[in-house]
Structure 1
């Protein structure tokens, strides 16, 4: 039956520290139930803290009686702590080879040991204890153990004690084993299986010359399973099986260390992160949106500008369309007589057709390349313009035979042929040539504004046909919802290709405005275009093109806007007569 806890004399209440009597079951001050207080355990630690523990002496062998293997510094080629060479000397006949520094007799805690064979080194004595050469015999004065100078021998070197840094500690038990007599000219070597006198069975801090283990003292012997004994004092319980041997290097193979030593190539420089054009703070991700404000960033074709000498062009997506389906090309070349020829081509993709952006880009590029190839050969500019429009039509027709490259195109959706319009102008000498198909236009605006501006092209559209037939006036025709329905275009589904070309010889200098309907919808008449273009357009063509695009955007920007400004210079009368 368990007994209830009784408070000890002189104890206090755990709740309020009130003194208690041995017979109290409850605290008189706070009512604490003293029976709930556990009794103090009578157990005590087995070993008191601070009590010195006597550890058993080391035996020099493992649990199965095998001598502990020891590898000494002299087993590895090099130098010892004294700077001496660790080489194997010539051994006498019948004596197995040993390291050049034979084990010294005794252990010196802090001094430098002399190898056997040198003055002051130990030499073996047959049938008697081993002592240092030149030292007094056993029983005479011995070196000071632990003093750090000389070898230790004599009575103090017997079994039972081995000096180590001036402290005595137990040594391996057993009587001394007489060493074999030294051979002529050879260092004294302990007998096989003998343990040097004064050597301990367990060395806590072993150094070269501090003694040898029984395995090392036994010297090399036969290895189980045959083969040559190891050069060191290591003991092999099993013969080498070759499972972990390294394969010999293949002759002529590259050294893997040389490849590893080669410096790694420097990392490729990272492209600078794009900054949002709206907030000017957020970074643009791979999808083209700002990570800060979420604004969609303009694509490459959303706004394009190019200036080449005296000709410039600007194209913009506008404010209502999701992509820019217009394209342009500007270039210059030389005629056979060396005079310059400047080219400007503008194309407008048909929105109701498939891949209109690809059609406009292909047409502008093909027409420009054909003009640059024909004009230097001496082809008449008007004929070259006709050939350029035909080449542009063929390039657009080829797109109908190619699969759609846009990721958003549905392969099961009905697709018509890509289509676009085109207008181009060439300033070659005193001749100004224009060519077109569709409703893209070219305007002439003189520099001094003294002469009237003019529209140089006629639209291939429903409104133009109504006006030409006299069924409507121009105002009524372009007010109709069918006004911009084109009757001519470049594409595989065009009824009949009829390139329009015209040649002019202006009598004064001015500029040619080559544009799509995204601009002329906000400056339809020639006078409207003359008012929209800056007065210094001939001197600043790029700035003038930018101003015209801005004029369309300010008017609403319902369509893509593309305009090229091509200055045309007429030499003054008598300027070169002098």
Structure 2
């Protein structure tokens, strides 16, 4: 729809460069108060005027920046009334606006008004205790609205999934939002179950939501939960780990497909696929049981093998479903050329209603030395792509301290830039009769 009036809009948040929309008062990513800064008018509406602000400051009827005229009592950025919403209320802890003559707290007549600049928000009180239920973690005064923002200072509140950690017996996993994304679209599931003979089976599932799809965070959570549940149940019944992994990926796919179905349309006509939404994610998983190492995947999340004795050769146990992998497999590019291309991470396999025919990949290995299985999303392996690089950044005591090692790997990705969500699960693989390298 055409609009005759064009409002000035932020192209991006001035604090974190997150894209903005017309009418936004706070940045959805970092909570920056956009109402505190004057919006620049469209170029065709901006006159070129040379004014001496200091000479005009304090004159009756003139306040704000650039000596823009306004009636007495008008204050705020650019001297425009209502140019970013109501001003902070001093009674609520806000800062009073800089004023001209006759403004409480402003300069006396004849003095130059200081540059008003951005409104500053009160810094968190480091001596204050924890924020109470429903209170902002930053200012500890404002209430948090349904969208997760403080009604007083606008600060975005941390979500439960921004950072997750779990340690369950020998397996541990860590997931982090990263430094650039506004939410964590990764998910994981870990479990330890008993096989019919009483021996343990250790499971780790990692899913990465496809950001360009709808509800990727829900897709990854549903897939991880479904696959973890399916694997644990099948292994407990005595199913071999490799077919159990295949069935778990199918179960995960069905869980993601269910997110896109409209229940009102399920029993209507044959054209129901047109009523499907398109949530999507990738999946990778590993099972350690009875001396076997089983992996399964769809997409570009990976499994690495790192022996405890770093003199041994590490290995990557999965092959990406991606454009780069296809180019390398077809002999059209070498790996360095393919992954340097901007299309490298375009995936060719995923879980979701609009995915191609589902083809779960599974593989079975039987290592003869102890080591660690690294199950991760591309948010980690982008910063340690080759098996040798992954072995270098994995702490040497990862078999004994898997949670600490997973934390260190996530920290490595964040230190490298944290451009994506980061998730990693570690499964130590023990071989009877072998001691770990750190125990020697």
Q: Which residue pairs with 1:333 in the alignment?
A: 193
1:285 and 2:161 matched: no
Q: Which has the larger radius of gyration?
A: 1
Q: Which residue pairs with 1:197 in the alignment?
A: none
1:529 and 2:383 matched: no
| Equivalent of 2:259 in 386, 399, 408 | 399
1:303 and 2:163 matched: yes
Alignment of 1:61-76 (within 5 A): none
CA positional deviation for 1:402 = 3.5
CA positional deviation for 1:524 = 0.5
Q: Which residue pairs with 2:369 in the alignment?
A: 508
Q: Aligned equivalents of 2:320 and 2:332: distance in 1?
A: 16
| Equivalent of 2:181 in 307, 314, 321 | 321
SS of the aligned residue for 1:427 comes to strand
- Does the Cα contact within 8 Å between 1:273 and 1:283 map onto a contact in 2? no
| Equivalent of 1:547 in 378, 396, 408 | 408
Q: Aligned equivalents of 2:277 and 2:426: distance in 1?
A: 33
Task: Report runs of 4+ in structure 1 exceeding 2 Å deviation.
Answer: 271-279, 281-295
Q: Which residue pairs with 1:367 in the alignment?
A: 227
CA positional deviation for 1:446 = 1.0
- Does the Cα contact within 8 Å between 1:523 and 1:529 map onto a contact in 2? yes
Flag the 1:450–1:278 CA change in 2: closer, same or farther, 3 A.
farther
SS of the aligned residue for 2:160 comes to coil
1:470 and 2:325 matched: no
Q: Which residue pairs with 1:450 in the alignment?
A: 311
- TM-score by structure 1 length? 0.49
Query: What does the per-residue CA deviation read over 1:417-470, in whole Å, with 9 as the maximum and x for residues that have no partner?
Result: 111100000000200000000000001111121211111100000000000111
| Equivalent of 2:422 in 549, 561, 569 | 561
| Equivalent of 2:213 in 353, 378, 384 | 353
Alignment of 1:2-151 (within 5 A): none
Decide which structure has greater helix share: 2
Flag the 1:538–1:283 CA change in 2: closer, same or farther, 3 A.
farther
- Does the Cα contact within 8 Å between 1:400 and 1:418 map onto a contact in 2? yes
1:438 and 2:299 matched: yes
- TM-score by structure 2 length? 0.64
Q: Structure 2: state its 5+ residue gaps.
A: 1-130, 264-274, 436-440
Q: Which residue pairs with 2:17 in the alignment?
A: none
Q: Aligned equivalents of 1:351 and 1:323: distance in 2?
A: 10
CA positional deviation for 1:285 = 2.5
- Does the Cα contact within 8 Å between 1:274 and 1:284 map onto a contact in 2? yes
- Does the Cα contact within 8 Å between 1:446 and 1:510 map onto a contact in 2? yes
Q: Aligned equivalents of 1:558 and 1:566: distance in 2?
A: 25
Q: Aligned residues, how many?
A: 294
Flag the 1:542–1:284 CA change in 2: closer, same or farther, 3 A.
farther
- Does the Cα contact within 8 Å between 1:346 and 1:516 map onto a contact in 2? yes
CA positional deviation for 1:364 = 0.6
Q: Aligned equivalents of 1:519 and 1:303: distance in 2?
A: 15
Q: Aligned equivalents of 1:561 and 1:573: distance in 2?
A: 32
Query: What does the per-residue CA deviation read over 1:306-339, in whole Å, with 9 as the maximum and x for residues that have no partner?
Result: 1111111111111111111111000010111111
Q: Aligned equivalents of 1:540 and 1:441: distance in 2?
A: 21
SS of the aligned residue for 1:331 comes to strand
- Does the Cα contact within 8 Å between 1:284 and 1:297 map onto a contact in 2? no
- Does the Cα contact within 8 Å between 1:354 and 1:415 map onto a contact in 2? no
SS of the aligned residue for 2:426 comes to strand
Q: Aligned equivalents of 2:243 and 2:315: distance in 1?
A: 23
| Equivalent of 1:480 in 331, 341, 351 | 341
CA positional deviation for 1:276 = 5.5
The CA RMSD measured in Å over matched residues stands at: 2.2
Q: Which has the higher contact order (CA 8 A, sep 6+)?
A: 2
CA positional deviation for 1:509 = 0.9
Q: Aligned equivalents of 1:292 and 1:566: distance in 2?
A: 44
- Does the Cα contact within 8 Å between 1:346 and 1:514 map onto a contact in 2? yes
Flag the 1:274–1:566 CA change in 2: closer, same or farther, 3 A.
farther
Q: Aligned equivalents of 2:276 and 2:196: distance in 1?
A: 45
Alignment of 1:219-298 (within 5 A): 272-273=132-133, 285-287=144-146, 288-290=148-150, 294-298=154-158
CA positional deviation for 1:501 = 0.4
Alignment of 1:486-501 (within 5 A): 486-501=347-362
CA positional deviation for 1:293 = 5.5
Query: What does the per-residue CA deviation read over 1:334-385, in whole Å, with 9 as the maximum and x for residues that have no partner?
Result: 1111110000000001111111111111111111111111101111000100
CA positional deviation for 1:533 = 1.2
1:389 and 2:236 matched: no
Q: Aligned equivalents of 1:493 and 1:444: distance in 2?
A: 32
- Does the Cα contact within 8 Å between 2:277 and 2:353 map onto a contact in 1? no
